[in-house]
Amino acid sequence: MKYLFLRTIKKYSTLLLTGILFLNFACEDDDHDDHVHANEEHTDAEGFVLETESGTEVYKQLEGIVSTSNVSLAAGETLELVVHFLDHDGAKIEHDDGEHDEADEDELQVTVTSGAEFATVVVEEHDETGSTTEEHHEMALEITGLSAGTTNFSLKLMHGDHADFESAVDVVVTVTSGS
């Protein structure tokens, strides 16, 4: 009878100890994940809008649905567009200009998927020279019309080695023959 009691206690003690260890390791993993994510700022974008420097919307894509698509220019012209990422409700996500490591910054990436002979699409570089002119913290694209036709490109918002956002539909640029 004494041995039966000890066997029962041993089984329950083993089960209890295993449960405690499991919960302890699970909590440590959660703490680690919170610590890692607290140091990384990800952009939870659901879409983007392209605007001229004067604020005119020429392209809008939200959750894969294109509601505005008027990206056009003449051959020989250059069009500069500001890129704003959108949240689930379609509101612009504010870019944090606070102090952070350069490695943690989001980077805009463009891939021309077809029609590279009609237009070039590049990410506009920020002026890092420390000039006294107005600092430009917005993400922007520069599109140059080469010849009449259409060019398609995709857009990604890179955070380190992964994309926080990828366009679901290619942006279509129409280049006219000019005047």
CA pair distance 69, 50, nearest whole angstrom:
9
Using CA atoms of 120, 124, 128, 129 in order, give the dihedral in degrees to the nearest 10. Answer: 60
Higher-scoring residue by pLDDT: 57, 17: 57
Confidence band, pLDDT 50/70/90 cuts, at residue 10 = confident
SS3 142: strand
CB-based contacts of 124, cutoff 8 Å, min separation 6: 80, 140, 141, 142
Confidence band, pLDDT 50/70/90 cuts, at residue 32 = very low
Mean pLDDT score of the chain, rounded to an integer? 80
Burial grade of 50 (CB within 10 A; 0-12, 13-18, 19 or more): buried
Closest by Cα among 133, 136, 134 to 95 = 136
Tell if the pTM clears 0.75, that is, is over it: no
Which ranges of 40-67 would DSSP assign to H, the alpha helix?
none
Summarised one tens digit per residue, pLDDT across range 59-108 is: 999 999 999 999 999 999 999 999 999 999 999 998 655 544 555 578 99
